[in-house]
Amino acid sequence: MNDKQPKYYSIKSLLGSDDYVIPIYQRNYEWGEPQITQLIQDIVDYIVKSKSNNAQSKPRYYIGSLIAYERKLEGSVIYETIDGQQRLTTLTILLNVIKKEYPKIDLSWYEKLNLSFDSRKVASNTLSYLFNGIGLDNKECNVAIEQGYNDAKKSLAKILADNKLSIDEFCNYFFEKVTILRVLVPEDTDLNHYFEIMNSRGEQLEKHEILKAKMLEILEDDNLKYAFNLIWEATSNMEKYVQYGFSVAQRDELFGKSDWNNLVCKDVVYNKLQIPTANQTTEETLTISQLLIKTAKPITDNSSTSDESPDRFNTIINFANFLLHILRIQTKSDVPLDDKRLLELFDPFLKNDDKIEFAKQFGYNLLKGKFYFDKYAIKREFAKGTDHWSLKRLKWYDGNKVSYVNTFDVDNAETNDGVNREILMLLSMFHVSNPTLVYKHWLNASLNFVVEYSGTNLANDYKIYLENLAKSFLNDRYLAVNQRDFYEIIYTNNGQHKNSETAIEINKLNQGTAVENFIFNYLDYLLWQDYRTDKNYFKIKNGQAFTDNRVKDFEYTFRSSVEHYYPQHPIDENLILKGQDADWLDNFGNLCLISGSKNSRLSNFMPTAKKDYYTGSSTIDSIKQRIMMEYEHWDTNGSNNHNEIKEHSEKMTELLTR
Tens of pLDDT, residue by residue over 63-108, are 888 888 888 877 788 998 888 889 999 999 999 999 999 999 999 9
Q: How many CA atoms, within 13 angstroms, populate the side-chain half-sphere of residue 244?
A: 22
Query: What ranges do the domains of the chain cover?
Result: 2-198, 207-407, 505-657
Query: What's the Rg (C-alpha) of the chain?
Result: 27
Residue 24 CB-density burial (10 A; 0-12 exposed, 13-18 middle, 19+ buried): exposed
Contact 12, 175 (CB under 8 A): yes
What is d(CA 513, CA 588) in angstroms, rounded to the nearest whole number? 10
Q: Which among 451, 476, 497, 490 has a CA at the least distance from the CA of 334?
A: 490
Q: Which among 264, 246, 244 has a CA at the least distance from the CA of 402?
A: 244
- Which residue type, as a one-letter code, is found at position 95? L
Enter the DSSP assignment of 108. T
- Which residue type, as a one-letter code, is found at position 273? L
What is d(CA 88, CA 495) in angstroms, rounded to the nearest whole number? 40
Which residues of the chain are modeled with pLDDT < 50? 1-2, 200-203, 279-288, 290-292, 294-308, 414
Distances 312 to 305, 315, 381, 410 between C-alpha atoms, Å: 13, 10, 6, 20
CA 490: distance to chain centroid?
19
Contact 502, 475 (CB under 8 A): yes
The pLDDT, as a whole number, for residue 329 is 97
Phi/psi for 76 (5° steps) reads: -115, 170
The per-residue pLDDT for range 340-358, each reduced to its tens digit, is 889 999 999 999 889 999 9
The pLDDT, as a whole number, for residue 192 is 58
* 20, containing H or E segment: strand 20-22
The pLDDT, as a whole number, for residue 304 is 37
Q: Which among 15, 182, 20 has a CA at the least distance from the CA of 115?
A: 20
The per-residue pLDDT for range 295-341, each reduced to its tens digit, is 333 333 444 333 345 568 999 999 999 999 999 999 999 999 999 88
Q: How many CA atoms, within 13 angstroms, populate the side-chain half-sphere of residue 605?
A: 14
Distances 634 to 5, 591, 602, 625 between C-alpha atoms, Å: 61, 12, 16, 12
The pLDDT, as a whole number, for residue 284 is 41
3 state DSSP class of 124:
helix
* 330, containing H or E segment: helix 319-331
Q: Which among 36, 15, 23 has a CA at the least distance from the CA of 146?
A: 36
What are the DSSP E strand ranges found in 501-614?
561-564, 591-594
Q: What are the start-end ranges of the H helices in 132-186?
A: 143-162, 167-176
What is d(CA 295, CA 291) in angstroms, rounded to the nearest whole number? 9
What percentage of the chain has pLDDT greater than the value 90?
47
Q: How many CB atoms lie within 10 A of CB 97?
A: 23
Cβ-proximal residues to 80 (8 Å cutoff; 6+ apart), any chain = 20, 21, 23, 68, 69, 70, 71, 191
Contact 312, 383 (CB under 8 A): yes
Phi/psi for 596 (5° steps) reads: -60, -35
* 394, containing H or E segment: strand 392-397
The pLDDT, as a whole number, for residue 288 is 45
Cα-based angle 443, 446, 450 (whole degrees, multiple of 5): 140
The pLDDT, as a whole number, for residue 138 is 74
The pLDDT, as a whole number, for residue 113 is 93
The pLDDT, as a whole number, for residue 71 is 85
The pLDDT, as a whole number, for residue 205 is 61
The pLDDT, as a whole number, for residue 287 is 45
Measure CA of the first residue to CA of the last residue in the chain; give whole Å.
69
What is d(CA 86, CA 66) in angstroms, rounded to the nearest whole number? 10
